[in-house]
Structure 1
Amino acid sequence: MIYLDNSATTKVLPEIMDTFIAVNEKYWANPSSIHEFGHNTNELLQSAREQVAEILHTSSSKIYFTSGGTESNNLAIFGLANKYKFRGKHILVSKIEHPSVLEAAKQLNTLGFEVEFIPVDSKGIIDLVELQKLLRKETSLVSVMHVNNEIGAIQPIEAISKMVRSNSKAVIHIDAVQSFGKLPIDFKRYDIDALTISSHKIHGLKGSGLLALSKTREVEPMILGGGQEAGIRSGTTPVPLAVCTAKAIRIASASLEKNTTEMKRLTEELVHFLRGFENIKIISPDTRAPHIVTFSVRKVKGEVIINALQKRNVIVSTSSACSSRQTKTSHVLQAMHISDDYIKGVIRLSISSLTTEQEIDTFKKIFTEVINVIKGD
């Protein structure tokens, strides 16, 4: 099988699976228990927290392990909005955010907040002129994804941060689910307040991730109970998942430059190949993330191409795994004003550090066979 849907999820690394099994076997005590077994388990948990904090350049007390990207984004949107509402109740998010941010933001509208959506240009990049117009003194939260999950557009975080700081006292949340491990992102590099990471996007385990805050920021809890995770996310902390999340982050961080260079080389090869077809439009911008290439075949439904490739053991997706089983048009593509001729035929190719040159070569041969049969207008 040739798997080119790594933005949806990645294959778990064997060493991470080994760690998961080992921690379950040796450190299965409740980390909140006061006996020595519980204490030892808690020490392992705190070690994982410290490792992540060192990589992200923040305090270990600001690392909150969660069930993944969706929970982390919800915690950021609701938790930061409520914590800093004394500064104002005006919230800004981009029009192309992940549903876990968009739907949470829409919910804030029903809770007395005013939410506005930042437009993007035809490349999926935030319109900085429009952002400046939308910012107010009472803007208390701005949330932007670093890399868009559907098209790979990279947002200018540094420019956005400077603009937000100059025009408001808003806290800045960055959804780094698609960027961590592919692009540098931490609190030392960027003047931001919160970021989200999901383990299964970086060859870790599903059901795990985190929300990290800068050293000076706080967040209101969403899940109440026994006060675990510094009272921010109550419930017995799944230590094996937390430890594996930290390990996935360490591995991704250590091999970032090497992996990014190789992934960029392979996706540039894909772009060059796809541009050889008359009826194909590259949707991803030239300045895309190194692991995503999104394109469309004129007047052909994406599902037709996906099914044809799947029969040949090649796995790709439409623009997003979150919307691929839905018939509605992607909100990202609508925000980019993709024409009717192309908006239904979007295919996303997403690779990982495990993708090989041979797989790319085989994909090109199979895709050529498929497209010659389908032949879009």
Structure 2
Amino acid sequence: MLYFDHAASTLPYEQVVRTVGELMTLHYANAAALHKSGAEAMRLVERARSAVAGAFGAKPDEVVFTSGGTESNNFAIKGTVFSSRKPKKHIITTAIEHASVYECVKQLERQGVEVTILPVDGQGRVSPDSVANALREDTVLVSVMHVNNETGAIQPIEEIGRLLADRPQVRFHVDGVQAIGKVPVRWKEWGIDLYTGSAHKFRGPKGVGFLLVREGLALAPLLAGGGQEDGRRSGTHNVPGIVATAQALRLTMESMDERRTRMYGLRRKLIGLLKDIPELCLNVPEEEERSAPQIVNVSYPGMRPEVLVHMLEEHGILISTQSACSSKSLKPSRVLTAMGLDEQRASGSIRISFGDEHTERDIDILADRLRAVVAKLKPLERSFS
């Protein structure tokens, strides 16, 4: 099988797998315990915190470990809203955010928080001007993802951060789950207050993530309990997962430049081959400066995407529809709909995402088998629409 679903989850590094196993065996004590074994576990956590901080030019106490991207996004958004003393609260976000942001702000909206959801252009990018025009006196948060999880479109984070520079009362949150290890991240330089990461997107373990929190910002905790993470995130530390996250992040960042160069080459090759299949429509920005290297989204209008997914699986290719969190939904992609694509195109999309193991030969195989599947489905096109 050729696995082209790295935007959903990645193969952990072998070193990471070994680290998790060793730590589960050797350092199983609760890091909050007062005895020697607990203190050793806590030293491992703090060493990992320093390593994660160093990868982003942050201070160790600006790193909060969580269970992953969904918790980090919810913590950033709800923690900001619940800590604000403003009588009225307003959030700005975009129509293409991951469900862990989009549904979070929708939940807050039902609870009385005012929400502005900004449109995007045909390439899936939000305009900084629209962010500026949406700002109000009661705005407490702007949340814009770094790299879109369905199309790979890079959002103008630096420009948005610049326009928020003179609005210190407005916090800037960025979901960086699909960006880390694929595109540069300069969170402080770009004026970001809160930045989300998830380990299993950069070859770390599942169920572990972090939120970078700019020094001095107070966030209301989501979880009440033992007061771990300096009172910001209660719950027993996942010591093996946290240490493995730091290890995976180090390995990923060390190879980022080579990875970007190689993946952009694979992306160019795949896009060129897909253009030779007339039934398919590309849904990604072709300009490389506007798109991350690891994601290509394509539609077969009139064809249900799960049919493509299952037929490709029979041919030894694993891909996904939409994001993994939405892949079981039969609704049109919210992201592609926001880009102005019609229902057939937004309903018939598949996502191909690369990993470290892929070669140009793999891209040739993928394109050949996709071409064969499309040729087989062409006579049945209308019956699936």
Q: Is the 8 A contact 1:87 1:139 kept in 2?
A: no
Provide the rounded CA distance (Å) in 2 between the counterparts of 1:374 and 1:110: 43
2:301 paired residue number: 298
1:116 paired residue number: 116
Q: Do structure 1's residue 364 and structure 2's residue 339 form an aligned pair? A: no
Q: Is the 8 A contact 1:93 1:118 kept in 2?
A: yes
Read off the aligned partner of 1:219 and give its amino acid letter.
L
Deviation at 1:168? Answer: 6.6
Q: 1:54 aligns to what SS in structure 2?
A: helix
| Identity over aligned pairs, percent | 38
Deviation at 1:83? Answer: 2.1
Deviation at 1:94? Answer: 0.8
Read off the aligned partner of 2:170 and give its amino acid letter.
A
Deviation at 1:44? Answer: 0.8
Mean CA deviation greater in 277-286 or 221-230: 277-286
Provide the rounded CA distance (Å) in 2 between the counterparts of 1:374 and 1:351: 25
Provide the rounded CA distance (Å) in 1 between the counterparts of 2:269 and 2:158: 29
Provide the rounded CA distance (Å) in 1 between the counterparts of 2:36 and 2:67: 27
Q: Is the 8 A contact 1:294 1:347 kept in 2?
A: yes
Q: Is the 8 A contact 1:135 1:168 kept in 2?
A: no
Q: Do structure 1's residue 351 and structure 2's residue 354 form an aligned pair? A: yes
1:136 paired residue number: 136
1:59-74 alignment, distance < 5 Å = 59-74=59-74
Q: Is the 8 A contact 1:16 1:248 kept in 2?
A: yes
For normalisation by structure 1, the TM-score amounts to 0.96
Deviation at 1:284? Answer: 0.9
Q: Do structure 1's residue 126 and structure 2's residue 142 form an aligned pair? A: no
* Unaligned segments of structure 2, at least 5 residues: none
The alignment covers a number of residue pairs equal to: 377
Deviation at 1:87? Answer: 8.7
2:228 paired residue number: 228
Deviation at 1:166? Answer: 4.1
For normalisation by structure 2, the TM-score amounts to 0.94
1:273 paired residue number: 273
Provide the rounded CA distance (Å) in 2 between the counterparts of 1:365 and 1:58: 45
Provide the rounded CA distance (Å) in 1 between the counterparts of 2:19 and 2:235: 22
1:44 paired residue number: 44
Q: Is the 8 A contact 2:127 2:156 kept in 1?
A: no
- The CA deviation string for residues 114-141 of structure 1, in whole angstroms up to 9 with x for no partner, is 1111111111100233222211132110
Provide the rounded CA distance (Å) in 2 between the counterparts of 1:79 and 1:132: 23
Report the CA distance shift for 1:341/1:225 in structure 2 as closer, same or farther (over 3 A).
Answer: closer
* Unaligned segments of structure 1, at least 5 residues: none
Mean CA deviation greater in 62-71 or 295-304: 295-304
Q: Is the 8 A contact 1:30 1:236 kept in 2?
A: yes
1:96 paired residue number: 96
Read off the aligned partner of 1:318 and give its amino acid letter.
T
The Cα RMSD (Å) is: 1.6
Q: Do structure 1's residue 219 and structure 2's residue 222 form an aligned pair? A: no
Provide the rounded CA distance (Å) in 2 between the counterparts of 1:218 and 1:267: 41
Provide the rounded CA distance (Å) in 2 between the counterparts of 1:235 and 1:119: 37
Deviation at 1:110? Answer: 3.0
Q: Is the 8 A contact 1:136 1:168 kept in 2?
A: no
Q: 2:164 aligns to what SS in structure 1?
A: helix
Read off the aligned partner of 1:24 and give its amino acid letter.
M
2:322 paired residue number: 319
Deviation at 1:85? Answer: 4.1
Read off the aligned partner of 2:327 and give its amino acid letter.
S
Provide the rounded CA distance (Å) in 1 between the counterparts of 2:206 and 2:367: 30
1:332 paired residue number: 335
Deviation at 1:279? Answer: 2.3
Provide the rounded CA distance (Å) in 2 between the counterparts of 1:99 and 1:130: 21
